[in-house]
Chains A and B, each alone.
Chain A
Amino acid sequence: MKSVKWQSGNGKCFSLHVRSSLFLLFLLLLPPITAIAPAQVTYQDLLHPDPKDWLTYSGDYSGRRHSMLNQIHTKNIASLAAGWIYPVPGANRLLVTPLVFNGLMYVTGHNSVFALDARTGREIWRYSRPLRPDMISGDARPGINRGVAVLGEKVFFETQDAHLLALHAKNGSLIWETEIADYRDGYGGTMAPLVVKDKVIIGTSGGDECVRGLLDAYDAETGKRQWRFWTIPAPGEPGSETWKGSAIEHGCGATWLTGTFDPELNLLYWTTGNPCPDFYAEDRLGDNLYTDCVLAVDVDSGKLKWHYQFTPHDSHDWDATQIPMLIDSTFEGRPRKLMAQADRNGFFYVLDRTDGKLLMAKPFVKSLNWAKGIGPDGRPEVLPDTDPTPQGNKTCPAVVGATNWYSPSFNPQTGLFYVIAMEQCNDYMSSARGYEKGKGFEGTGAQRIASEPGQKFLRAIDIRTGNLRWEYPMVGDADSWAGTLSTAGGLVFFGDDSGYLVAVDAETGRALWHFNTGATRLSASPMTFAINGQQFITLAAGTNIVTFRLIH
């Protein structure tokens, strides 16, 4: 800056007064700001996001979490350095993937939203509300949140107590608020909504708190509900025959992770959580539809087109709430519309996303003893004696899963699917206990085996064969929840098991760069964006938003 005039001091009172009055007059003569259409996020932007922006939870509708930005690449990554840190007020563990539009970043903390200058981390506005102390146990209770969605001048946010809010994108003013479901019934909000067309698509948490899972679409303009799909059928409805016993009344199947969308097929792909009670399955004999599924739902009508169930009659709390990734690729000799998912149950699945037909399923962890494989009919070939017992039964994967909600990524140049995998087994225990309103409904649980701490890996899976191309073993306590980001710079970024943000070569898995964030348990997935041609990498690390850029 060449010169800065700081207007202060008593000697300038008169001129200041005139100046500010004139300035005010000048502003008042302008048409109201709201009447001018400023740059806004449109549905076209969401369909074809500019690589400089990050407009949805996974970066685009496909869920690949792959950015075309390549300024930061394998040759210059040694010059990547921290640019700024924003400690999120009130946070104790961040899970958010920030969104960025035109240099403005939106992050969520505990029941709060913050807008930041994405280049400097300086706060522009904040919206916050107190946590309800009377929530049923579960992820929503401490107020964890994975982020917002944007459309037009609105930012959409799910509160801890399962309300959907539309905030003004420019100042956080609450425009409308809709109660999704009653938090006293176990519903909570933890996921980032997904905007498609004029709709805000949401699910809820409460998957261990006896809810009846739901998938909703709300009018982005008014907050009015347009449709609802129940993931647990009512008695007598199709699918209810897969529940023998009384558990169907509190069957869970929660929808707590943001889904994906195929504009050509007009289908949403949304995954569902475990049945309840999680570990006691005797009162819900049958497959328990539509728990542990991916649902293909018409976005306009909310009608189910097809479903695929990863873990029928689950008794290990293996929610299928992992990102159902949409990939267009040649498969077995012909171009196909694929859906790939590395599931919490330990298998890597590739489906034809037009009809839900299973094309391939292979284990991506070695610690897997509940099923021999996935049969040609798409059903797991379950091995005997793998159900939880009152005494405890060692089964793999562990309850935290072979992977979990944290994001995988896919690089079309390498054809590799990058996923954080966990090698771990647990002792699973069960007990019969009836439903009690206002309490968790787990039917006991799982515990670590002291002599087998487990280990986390970053694994690269060839989507055409399901075979492991390379892996990156991590040192740590096997207790982190960080995901991955793939970039056209030939890099995979991920949070490791010791609190580091690490970048590896996408082709080989060789570590090229690392940064100790200081967080003891990373719990979010990285993202990237650009401002004025400069690329940034951001990770919510512990209680901080940390952003990196090249230094020259």
Chain B
Amino acid sequence: MARRNNQIRHTALALLCAFIVTCGEFRAPSLLQAQMEQAGWPQSYDSTIIEAGSKLFAGSCSVCHGIDGKGSARGPDLTRGQVVTRGTDDEVFQLIRKGVPGSSMAAFDLPDLQIRQLVAFIRSLSTTAAHIFVPGNQNSGQQIFFGKGRCSECHMIRGQGGLLGPDLSNIGGERTLSEIRVSILKPSPSSPNKYRGVTVVTENGERINGTLRNRDNFSLQIMDREGKFRFFLISELRDMVLQEKSLMPDDIGSLLSREELQNLLAFLSRQAMVGGNQIESHRKRTR
């Protein structure tokens, strides 16, 4: 068993190496790796392994755990469970191989490689994008962010960009790859009280359009269209209309090619702070 595991590790490593060779852009620097490990972060997984795991998961696991791993009436949420978020890879591996006695989680007698692929996929459900390998060209992704994709008209990264939407300087450190992808392709307000369009009319008749920064039953904090903060008590307002839909365009999927979207994801995934420094800057330094 141990020897087979080692073989798989070697295979995975070889695959990873092959990727690194073919995508010179994405060398996995040992310094970064060491920092991640020091910070107690999980190891990186090759995207091909995650993808293979995703297919296996859809076939074998999604019926109980849901296609997104967030659980259903038949099985628990795998993005939050203690074992999958804190246990070791081997613990998750054994859980799949042996099942959970006394529960509806059966034993899965799959080849080791497939179970490893499942582990990688399950990990990716709760691992933020910065900590997994995301293929694509970051430089092209950056150009899309600040150009064709028009993301920077509303979003900021390290002080560059617009103020209307959330700052994305740490998006790779906060969100999983899947969450980032979904938020681009099927945008929805992440919070009912933030970044929604809002129009208010004050007691003296002034009409102000802006986006929410915060809100409660007694007060409202918005950024107006000129980028100025306007804070109100609800009692000072004559009228308030909240926009239901996200201000984020929902046609980005058709605007960008598959490759462009992947490049954008590669760029966004690397937007993360490690002790305040961007992972990207560490990468540059280690080259």
Binding site for B on A (CB under 8 A): 1-8, 12, 16-17, 19-21, 23-24, 26-28, 30, 32-34, 36, 38-39, 102-104, 117, 119-120, 122-125, 129-130, 132, 159, 161, 163, 165-166, 168, 170-177
Nearest CB on B from A238, distance (A):
37
Interface check B28, CB cutoff 8 A: no
* A84 CB to nearest chain B CB (Å): 10
- Please, which residues of chain A bring their CB within 8 A of the CB of B206? none
Contact A5 B239 (CB under 8 A): yes
Asked, given contacts A33-B163, A34-B161, whether A102 binds B229 with beta carbons under 8 Å apart, the answer is yes
Which 9 residue pairs spanning A and B have beta carbons closest together?
A175-B159, A20-B245, A33-B227, A173-B167, A120-B219, A117-B231, A122-B214, A20-B243, A16-B244
Is B209's beta carbon under 8 Å from chain A?
Answer: yes
- The distance from the CB of B165 to the nearest CB of chain A, in whole angstroms, is 9
Q: In whole angstroms, what is the CA distance A102 to B247 when docked?
A: 27
B163, B228, B238: most-surrounded residue (chain A CB, <10 A): B163
**Complex Cα gap A176–B249 (Å):** 30
Complex interface: chain B residues within 8 A of A3 (CB):
238-239
Which residue of A32, A34, A173 has the most chain B CB atoms within 10 A of its CB atom?
A173
Question: Beyond A33-B225, A168-B163: 13 further Cβ-contacts under 8 Å?
Answer: A1-B235, A2-B239, A5-B240, A23-B197, A33-B163, A36-B226, A117-B219, A123-B214, A130-B275, A166-B159, A174-B273, A175-B159, A177-B276
Contact A23 B231 (CB under 8 A): no
User: Which B residues, 217 to 235, have Cβ-Cβ distances below 8 Å to chain A?
Assistant: 218-219, 221, 223, 225-229, 231, 233-235
Interface segment out of the listed B19-27, B54-62, B115-123, B150-158: B150-158
Contact A170 B273 (CB under 8 A): no
| Inter-subunit contact B164/A33 (CB<8 Å) | yes
A4-B240 in contact (CB<8A): yes
The A-B contact count (CB < 8 A) is 141
Q: Is B213 an interface residue (CB 8 A)?
A: yes
In the complex, are the beta carbons of B216 and A170 less than 8 A apart?
no
Q: Are A173 and B276 in contact (CB under 8 A)?
A: no
A366 to B169, CA, bound (A): 55
A171 near B249 with CB under 8 A, answer no
Q: Are B238 and A2 in contact (CB under 8 A)?
A: yes
B277 within 8 A of A: yes
CA distance A30 to B244 in the complex (A): 21
Considering the chains assembled together, what is the distance between the CA atoms of A372 and B32 in angstroms?
A: 59
Are A27 and B225 interface neighbours, CB within 8 A? yes
Given A16-B245, A175-B159, A27 and B164 touching (CB < 8 A)?
A: yes
Instruction: Specify which of A24, A124, A166 is in contact with B197 (CB 8 Å cutoff).
Output: A24
Report the minimal beta-carbon distance from A231 to chain B, rounded to whole angstroms. 26
Q: List 16 A-B contacts (CB under 8 A).
A: A6-B242, A23-B197, A30-B225, A38-B228, A117-B219, A120-B216, A120-B231, A122-B214, A122-B231, A161-B275, A170-B163, A170-B227, A170-B229, A173-B157, A173-B158, A173-B167
Q: Is the CB of B240 within 8 A of A174?
A: no
Compute how far the CA of A122 lies from the CA of B217 in the bound complex, rounded to whole angstroms: 12
- B218 → A minimal CB distance (Å): 7
Interface membership of chain B positions 170-203, coded 1 if the CB is closer than 8 angstroms to chain A and 0 otherwise:
0000000000000000000000000001010000
Give, as a whole number of angstroms, the nearest-CB distance from A169 to chain B: 10
What's the Cα separation between A130 and B249 when bound, in Å? 34
Give Cα A357–Cα B213 distance, bound, in whole angstroms.
Answer: 52
B159 lies within 8 A of A124 (CB): no
B237 sits at the interface (CB 8 A): yes
B162 within 8 A of A: yes
Cα distance A418–B226 when bound, in Å? 43
A20-B167 in contact given A33-B226, A33-B227, A117-B214 (Cβ < 8 Å): no
CB distance from B230 to the nearest CB of A (A): 9
- Interface assignment of B241: CB less than 8 Å from any CB of chain A: yes
Complex contact B276–A159 (CB within 8 A): yes
Cβ of A174: which chain B residues have Cβ within 8 Å of it? 158-159, 169, 273, 276
Check A34/B227 contact, CB under 8 A, given A20-B247, A122-B219, A168-B159: yes
Say which residue of B156, B235, B236, B249 sits within 8 Å of A173 (CB atoms).
B156
